[in-house]
């Protein structure tokens, strides 16, 4: 891996701890909605389209309110349930980024949405006193801002073109194997990280 010049990080499940998705759905999100209608929205790519910035947070919430079990539900209740998947960024992961930044160009590439972005940005300001992502990463790419999401080929080509990167000089870290397949085919070096388990051991070979 000596040819690496740029490291591209996924965010959720890698730097940011997340609640297990199935647990979050069952415990936090699903109980609010008519499940048949919720599943219909999923089949229509409603949630993927929100991550691609195709409509606003207000439109997202309005659509979800229309399929809730309780017609008097407040936006704040939906937002809280939606954000309950987001946990914390451990301090030791910030240290990892600080160390890697001394040797590599760092890029963040995250499938996310405007409601989650607002929440984890607020959490960073509260816990670290600053937006550590924009401080330590050369560039931060959120799917809802660029109109593509992983694992679409377009999102990886977009980053390469924007950053003028040689694929063989890229290492991409993600916790989902399906997000690594296309980058690998494009010539990127890839490393799958265990969900919520990133530690200095995983990147020690990059610091030696």
Predicted local confidence at residue 88, as pLDDT: 98
Q: Architecture of 6-18+87-207 per CATH? A: 3-Layer(aba) Sandwich (3.40)
Does residue 142 sit in helix, strand or coil?
Answer: strand
Predicted local confidence at residue 2, as pLDDT: 64
Residues found in the chain? 208
Q: Which two tokens stand for residue 102?
A: 């001394």
Predicted local confidence at residue 174, as pLDDT: 98
Distances (CA, A) of 201 to 9, 73, 92, 93, 139: 16, 45, 11, 11, 24
Predicted local confidence at residue 42, as pLDDT: 97
Q: Which residue in 5, 115, 120, 125 sits closest to 55, CA to CA?
A: 115
Stretches in the chain below the pLDDT threshold 70: 1-2
For 108-157, the pLDDT digits (tens) are: 999 999 999 999 999 999 999 999 999 999 999 999 999 999 999 999 99
Which residues have CB under 8 Å from 50's CB, separation 6+?
Answer: 60, 113, 144
């Amino acid at each position: 891996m000596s040819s690496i010049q740029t490291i591209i990080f996924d965010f959720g499940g890698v730097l940011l701890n997340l609640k297990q998705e199935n647990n979050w759905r069952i415990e936090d999100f699903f109980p609010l909605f008519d499940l048949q209608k919720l599943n219909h929205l999923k089949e229509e790519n409603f949630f993927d389209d929100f991550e691609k910035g195709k409509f606003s947070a207000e439109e997202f919430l309005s659509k979800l309110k229309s399929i809730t079990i309780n017609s008097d539900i407040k936006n704040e209740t939906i937002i809280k349930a939606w954000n309950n998947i987001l946990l914390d960024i451990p301090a030791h992961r910030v240290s990892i980024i600080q160390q890697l930044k001394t040797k590599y160009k760092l890029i963040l590439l995250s499938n996310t949405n405007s409601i989650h972005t607002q929440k984890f940005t607020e959490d960073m300001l509260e816990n670290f006193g600053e937006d550590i992502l924009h401080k330590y990463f050369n560039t931060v790419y959120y799917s809802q801002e660029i109109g593509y999401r992983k694992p679409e080929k377009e999102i990886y080509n977009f980053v390469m073109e924007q950053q003028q990167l040689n694929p063989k000089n890229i290492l991409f870290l993600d916790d989902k194997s399906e997000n690594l397949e296309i980058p690998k085919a494009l010539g990127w070096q890839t490393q799958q990280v265990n969900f919520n388990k990133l530690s200095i051991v995983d990147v020690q070979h990059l610091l030696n």
